Each structure stands twice: as structure tokens, then as C-alpha cells.
Amino acid sequence: MKEVLLQEKYPVYYLEIDKADTSFTNVDDIIAYLKAKVEDHKAAKYIAEFDHYAHTKGLEQGEISDDIIAAKNLVFCFGITLPNPQVMAVRPRSIGICDMKDRFVIDFLEAPIQLANDTMEQWVKSIANQLEVAA
């Protein structure tokens, strides 16, 4: 995975996976796979799926890169602790999945808890490994 600073202030982790390197063929299948990971995790709670592509396309002023053919977010929360009200500003978590014709780009904002980052990174990296499992 790579880490970038989006707009010079948001730490984002992302992974580009060529479609030849995974058995997943579309965003919906990846969402279902990640949703199962969330539901199997003892501290995570599934919240929603958001179709960012459909939302943006439906806006009169909406603009979408020609390279993006699908874009959805899986929204969930680890919520292991609630030490103060300010932690609510960085929750819940979201993993974004974009179909870029020849590859998927999967990303998430850095979480304030390293365990959450590590878990999301494992989940995302495992998407590329599905080719070996499916073969």
C-alpha cells in the first residue's frame, strides 16, 4: 500500500490492483467481500454502502473523471473506545473502491488507532490475493 497526503492534510492509504491480479470483476463484489470482513470482525460494525458514482452523476453540477466507471464506499466503525467527544469527528471509517476500467483503486483515510489501520490494510491487500484462492 502507498500513503499520500491528500490536499496536503489528509493521510490516505491506497492500493491499485490490476484486474488481472484479482478474481473480483466489479466494485459490488469487492464491497460484499469487505462487508463480510467487517461483519466477521469482533469490534467492527457495518453501517452502510454509499454509491458515490450514482450520487455525483445525479447532481446537475456533478463531475466524474472519465477513468472512473464505478465508485462506492463501505462505511463501518471499529469504535473500540469512546474516550472523548472529539473522537466522533474521525469516525466512522470508510473504504473507497473505484473501478478504473483496467484496475481497482481502493483507499481509506488513516485512522487514529493503529490497529484499525493495520486491519483495513490487511483487508485491502487480501483483495489482490483472491486470484490465488479462486484458482
Residue 130 has pLDDT above 60, yes or no: no
Average the pLDDT over 74-83 and give the result.
91
Contacts of 94 (CB under 8 A, 6+ apart): 50, 73, 74, 75, 76, 108, 109
Average the pLDDT over 118-125 and give the result.
96
Range of the domain at 97: 2-134
Q: Which helix (H) or strand (E) holds 98?
A: strand 93-99
Average the pLDDT over 72-86 and give the result.
92
| CB of 30 closer than 8 Å to CB of 106 | yes
Average the pLDDT over 97-121 and give the result.
95
Give the number of domains in the chain. Answer: 1
Other CB atoms within 10 Å distance of the CB of residue 125: 13
Contacts of 108 (CB under 8 A, 6+ apart): 12, 13, 14, 93, 94, 95, 96, 120, 124
- Predicted model pTM: 0.91
Q: Residue 129: pLDDT band by 50, 70, 90 thresholds?
A: confident
pLDDT tens-digit readout, 26-37 = 999 999 999 999
Residue with cell 445525479: 58
For residue 31, give the CATH number of its domain. 3.30.310
- Establish whether the linkage from the previous residue to 85 is cis, with ω within 30° of 0: no
Dist. CA 75–CA 86, nearest whole Å:
19
Residue 80 has pLDDT above 90, yes or no: no
Residue 133 has pLDDT above 80, yes or no: no
